[in-house]
A and B are shown apart, each in its own frame.
Chain A
Amino acid sequence: MARMATTRRVMISTAAAWLFGFLIFFPILWMGLASFKTELEAFAIPPSFLFFHWTTENYATVQERSDYLHHAMNSIIIAGGSTLIALLIAIPAAWSMAFSPTKRTKDILLWMLSTKMMPPVGVLVPIYLIYKSLGLLDSRIGLVFILCLGNLPIVIWMLFTYFKEIPRDILEAARMDGATIGRELVYVLTPMAIPGLASTLLLNLILAWNEAFWTLNLSTSSAAPLTTFIASYSSPEGLFWAKLSAASTLAIAPILVLGWFSQKQLVRGLTFGAVK
């Protein structure tokens, strides 16, 4: 009897998990489907789910009108560059705050987080003017720099939380065995922090990939990433839903694939230290 109840419970929770997962995934699925419809079918009422005339003409049009690879390359460089630089700065910062805290550490952490509390549009004009004077408008370096700055507080906070979870006794034991700071970092700390580092890297990459305020405002064409690619298909007067869906599918495809393959790391990292 007990086993039946357990089996039923497992079945119910599995079904609920699938349903919940499907609900969350549905907008992406719908976008993917719409990208294979004709414009007329894309806004048909009632909408057709699978039985429509499948076409790839939207992808052909998008490819013909815009240079997808140019935008994708910019996205990779901007998201990848800003994430790597942020990690390079954040690892030592989080390490020192986690293992050699001072009485001001908490204040510094809060102060860092407070920079995320202001809406970015509040500093748009000053940043724009600075970028104009430095010649950084519409440059990849400029975007790498601003996205790195924007995400740095989150990266430091995440890493700080992970490092905090590592017992100091292990480090002390390593020191007792004569490990230098360098060896301690490479052989003791890094292996233990890898899940945390990986999930921070992935999350930051996703945040930078999807960032649409600064990338839209500080780029025009040379440095324009996939966010501007999508924005160029949104129309105030005209129905281009199928083309917009095709452009959006193309834009999220790389990050979706990356997320799919690294979901184990991502989940492990995000729940790291949550349950002891």
Chain B
Amino acid sequence: MKHVLGAVCGASCLLLAVPAMAETTLTIATVNNGDMIRMQGLTGEFTKKNPDITVKWVTLEENVLRQRVTTDIATKGGQFDVLTIGTYEVPIWAKKGWLVPLANLGADYDVADLLPKIKDAVSADGKLYAAPFYGESSMVMYRTDLFEKAGLKMPEKPSWDVVIDAAKKLTDKSAGTYGICLRGKAGWGENMAFLSAMANSYGARWFDEKWQPQFNTPEWKTTLTTYVNLMKEAGPPGASSNGFNENLALFNAGKCAMWIDATVAASFVTNPKESKVADKVGFALAPNTGLGKNANWLWAWNLAIPAGSKKTEAAEKFIAWATSKDYTKLVASKEGWANVPPGTRTSLYQNDEYLKVAPFAKLTLASIDAADPNKPTVKPVPYVGVQYAAIPEFQGIGTQVGQQFSAALAGSMTVDAALTAAQSATEREMKRAGYIK
């Protein structure tokens, strides 16, 4: 009888335990980038280790995701447990108390291994508010065969003069080859990411120490004039509607001699399955003008927990798994070292196997190291962020300014008119937000 009772008790305990174990369902919001798709594919490995957690993915286009997640987090809707957010959002949202600080990532997580610049970008008041999933800077990708044919040489740290000169010499419009492909599509994360970084290298800045917009300075005029003239002479037609993907398509099709963009593109342009010029690509640091700043940005896609989530423990477990050193090894074992998420951990750049398959690794690391979100410009600024100013108003302002600059590139506006319009739009928004009087 005792045995029967024991068995019944045991069975009921098990029955009770089963629903309790399968209780936690994490809803993870993310973007459709290659590394994130890979993470989704490997979710089974995480749930195998954590049978009490199930994972639901919500994949959205970047801008839709931003709007969707912002609405949910501002209203404490609690629809998501893990968010994929950029370095722009982390400090702003952390300050508003929208994110849960990540304090329990586990003993073997090795926070010290995170690249210092990236770690800084996802921390506020000394606390980690998001864990970097992949990080990137920007650099020059160029066609070694075209350079060789023209008798040109790309230095590892080129100046803008060298890049501009090469772009002009390598342009052969009749053959459909353009000296340089740069972003022109309007948007704070599109053309303004590139132009803000370029402006930094020319000594310009978004705001002075008193938050006064700086588009009326000679530095911005030089930046925009150089950009528009260069693109007119050596850029592809219709450049004002080109973003990352369009330029990637052009470069992969062999239409661009140079392309300055995200370091993460290096693995795409050297992949023979995607690129026609995979074995003819060289890399160099983003150009400078000798003022001490290169025209490169710093960005990372990170995983964070919104304050409205009721499953923070499970969410933190997932984040620790997806951004750990073991995850990198897992991706390498399943899909090869070339496919591991780059730009977050020092140890990856000391790994010989990775360095062997990633000829761009050294320059990616050098580019990330060269960007400083806390001191992004030659002159001092009151904001944090290299290709953006980490204030909530920047998204709107950045896109408005981007539209003016895109119009200048398209030729429907002069450089002076675009700068004047950018200055007045930014002044108006900054006054409205109370930064200036």
Taking beta carbons and an 8 Å cutoff, which residues of A are in contact with B?
39-40, 43-45, 65, 124-125, 128-129, 132, 137-138, 216-217, 220-221, 224, 228, 231-240
- The 8 residue pairs across chains A and B that have the minimum distance between CB atoms: A232-B59, A234-B61, A43-B249, A236-B62, A235-B32, A45-B253, A221-B56, A237-B33
B45 nearest CB across to chain A (Å): 17
- Asked if B18 CB lies within 8 Å of chain A CBs, one says no
Task: Please tell me if the beta carbons of A238 and B250 are within 8 angstroms of each other in the complex.
Answer: no
- Asked if B67 CB lies within 8 Å of chain A CBs, one says yes
Set of chain A residues within 8 Å of B143, measured between Cβ atoms: none
- Asked if B64 CB lies within 8 Å of chain A CBs, one says yes
B47 nearest CB across to chain A (Å): 16
Pairs across A and B, CB under 8 Å, 7 listed: A40-B252, A221-B58, A224-B58, A237-B244, A239-B252, A239-B268, A240-B32
B273 contact from A40, A224, A232, Cβ within 8 A? A40
Task: Tell me which of A125, A132, A138, A238 has the highest count of chain B C-beta atoms within 10 A of its own C-beta.
Answer: A238
A245 nearest CB across to chain B (Å): 14
A45 contact from B58, B255, B262, Cβ within 8 A? B255
- Asked if B34 CB lies within 8 Å of chain A CBs, one says yes
Complex: A239 Cα to B56 Cα, angstroms: 24
Closest B residue, CB atoms, query A230: B61
Task: Please tell me if the beta carbons of A235 and B33 are within 8 angstroms of each other in the complex.
Answer: yes
Give the interface size bracket for B toward A.
Answer: 35 or more
Set of chain B residues within 8 Å of A128, measured between Cβ atoms: 71-72, 75, 77
Complex: A128 Cα to B75 Cα, angstroms: 8
A217 contact from B33, B67, B76, B262, Cβ within 8 A? B67
User: Known contacts A39-B274, A236-B33; is A125 also within 8 Å of B250 by CB?
Assistant: no
Closest B residue, CB atoms, query A224: B58
Complex: A100 Cα to B238 Cα, angstroms: 58
B79 contact from A129, A220, A228, Cβ within 8 A? A220
Task: Please tell me if the beta carbons of B74 and A125 are within 8 angstroms of each other in the complex.
Answer: yes
Closest A residue, CB atoms, query B249: A43
B77 contact from A137, A232, A239, Cβ within 8 A? A137
- Within 188-245 of B, Cβ neighbours of A (below 8 Å) are at 189, 244-245
B240 nearest CB across to chain A (Å): 18
Task: Please tell me if the beta carbons of B77 and A65 are within 8 angstroms of each other in the complex.
Answer: no
Complex: A70 Cα to B122 Cα, angstroms: 36
Complex: A194 Cα to B6 Cα, angstroms: 70
Task: Please tell me if the beta carbons of A235 and B31 are within 8 angstroms of each other in the complex.
Answer: yes
User: Known contacts A39-B274, A235-B31, A235-B32; is A216 also within 8 Å of B255 by CB?
Assistant: no
- Asked if B264 CB lies within 8 Å of chain A CBs, one says yes
Set of chain A residues within 8 Å of B79, measured between Cβ atoms: 137-138, 220
Set of chain B residues within 8 Å of A40, measured between Cβ atoms: 252, 273-274, 276
Task: Please tell me if the beta carbons of A236 and B273 are within 8 angstroms of each other in the complex.
Answer: no
Task: Please tell me if the beta carbons of B56 and A238 are within 8 angstroms of each other in the complex.
Answer: no
Task: Please tell me if the beta carbons of A238 and B27 are within 8 angstroms of each other in the complex.
Answer: no
User: Known contacts A65-B37, A128-B77; is A231 also within 8 Å of B31 by CB?
Assistant: no
Complex: A216 Cα to B250 Cα, angstroms: 31
User: Known contacts A221-B27, A239-B245; is A231 also within 8 Å of B64 by CB?
Assistant: yes
Complex: A240 Cα to B71 Cα, angstroms: 27
Set of chain B residues within 8 Å of A228, measured between Cβ atoms: 58, 60
Complex: A137 Cα to B245 Cα, angstroms: 33
- Asked if B57 CB lies within 8 Å of chain A CBs, one says yes
- Asked if B80 CB lies within 8 Å of chain A CBs, one says yes
- Asked if B350 CB lies within 8 Å of chain A CBs, one says no
Task: Please tell me if the beta carbons of B33 and A221 are within 8 angstroms of each other in the complex.
Answer: no
Complex: A240 Cα to B74 Cα, angstroms: 32
- Asked if B12 CB lies within 8 Å of chain A CBs, one says no
- Within 256-274 of B, Cβ neighbours of A (below 8 Å) are at 262, 264-265, 268, 273-274
- Asked if B370 CB lies within 8 Å of chain A CBs, one says no
Given A40-B273, A216-B60, A235-B33, 14 further pairs, Cβ under 8 A: A40-B274, A128-B72, A128-B77, A137-B77, A216-B68, A220-B27, A221-B57, A228-B58, A232-B32, A233-B59, A234-B61, A235-B31, A236-B244, A239-B268
Task: Please tell me if the beta carbons of A43 and B252 are within 8 angstroms of each other in the complex.
Answer: yes
Complex: A125 Cα to B31 Cα, angstroms: 23
CB-defined interface of B37-67 with A at 8 Å, one 1/0 digit per residue?
A: 1001100000000000000111111101001
Complex: A240 Cα to B268 Cα, angstroms: 12
Complex: A39 Cα to B79 Cα, angstroms: 33
Complex: A137 Cα to B41 Cα, angstroms: 27
Task: Please tell me if the beta carbons of B248 and A220 are within 8 angstroms of each other in the complex.
Answer: no
Complex: A128 Cα to B40 Cα, angstroms: 28
